[in-house]
Structure 1
Amino acid sequence: MRPLITATLTAAALLAAPAVIAREKLAPEAQLEKLLEGRVAGEPQKCIPLSATNGSQIIDKTAIVYRSGSTLWVNRPRSGAESLDDDDVLVTKLTGNQLCNIDTVELHDRMSHMYSGFVSLGDFVPYRRVKGD
């Protein structure tokens, strides 16, 4: 009976291995690169209109990507990037009606809502899709 149990457990472990490998997360820079695939960087901007943004995404320890229509605005914070965690919620402190490179963003844990850090924003680099020839 014991060899049957051992064989069953071994088979189960081998079958589960591809599922674990398939769920591996890309390194932050690779994740950002994949997100920006097929896009070209434009001139960095000091501010973007917050009312035109329709979402944001945190790239762990790297950047915040804001969506505005088909444009992705990448912000690599001047300080605090090491606190960025894609499981956090962004709480933005604005100095006006735009999101600017002088603004700060607090990070709060999604589950506990506890403060987990902050970042000082940098310039916003627009990435737009390359038009086909």
Structure 2
Amino acid sequence: MTRTKLIRAAALTLLAAPMIASCAPGGTAQAGAAALSPKQAEQLDKQLAGKVPGEPIQCLPNYRSAETIRISDDILLYRSGSKLVYRNDLKGSCPGLARDSDIMVVRQFGSSTCEGDFFHLVDRSSGIRGPTCVFGPFVPYRKPAGDAD
């Protein structure tokens, strides 16, 4: 390579590095944890305290979830009583989900919400449709047998 081509290649590499780095996942072992604010991390810890994760399931029957908790733009929790919470790490971010002011409109086929199903957000005041988002697997977090509430 000539000197000019080497300089151009180096310049392009320097310009592209920030864009490439922004696509890389966070360096933490806990899924979605890198993007959490301290308040969100505290809420997640509070909801999952004393519970242990189980094997992910593909679909969550509607009767199993009494409450939806928006942790961040990447994480939803579905509470099923005091001893069981399902965590869903979305397949990609869902901008605006954490604001908890938009309405979640879930595209559901049957009586369960499944991994890969879509939902979108709708602004409460204007009715303008927001981003389309995709559910990931549902991970049950249960209190171990014998633990008191």
2:44 aligns with 32
Q: Secondary structure at the match of 2:140?
A: strand
- Report the Cα offset of residue 129 of structure 1: 1.9
Are residues 1:79 and 2:92 paired? Answer: yes
Range with greater deviation from structure 2 (71-80 or 83-92):
83-92
CA–CA distance in 1 between the matches of 2:51 and 2:77?
13
Range with greater deviation from structure 2 (95-104 or 78-87):
78-87
Work out the number of aligned pairs and report it. Answer: 109
CA–CA distance in 2 between the matches of 1:81 and 1:30?
20
Gaps in structure 1 of 5+ consecutive residues: 1-24
Are residues 1:63 and 2:78 paired? Answer: no
Q: Secondary structure at the match of 1:116?
A: strand
- Report the Cα offset of residue 97 of structure 1: 1.8
1:47 aligns with 59
- Report the Cα offset of residue 132 of structure 1: 2.9
- Report the Cα offset of residue 51 of structure 1: 2.9
- Report the Cα offset of residue 118 of structure 1: 2.3
Structure having the larger proportion of residues in strand: 1
Identity within the alignment, %: 32
CA–CA distance in 2 between the matches of 1:31 and 1:57?
10
CA–CA distance in 2 between the matches of 1:58 and 1:118?
16
Letter in 1 for 2:66: N
Letter in 2 for 1:132: D
The root-mean-square deviation of aligned C-alpha atoms, in Å, is 2.2
Q: Secondary structure at the match of 1:81?
A: coil
Q: Secondary structure at the match of 1:113?
A: coil
CA–CA distance in 2 between the matches of 1:27 and 1:105?
25
Change (3 A) 1:51 1:125: same
CA–CA distance in 1 between the matches of 2:103 and 2:38?
21
Are residues 1:132 and 2:147 paired? Answer: yes
CA–CA distance in 2 between the matches of 1:111 and 1:128?
37
Change (3 A) 1:79 1:51: same
Provide Cα deviations, 1:80-123, integer angstroms capped at 9, x if missing partner.
33442222221110122211002111112234332222210000
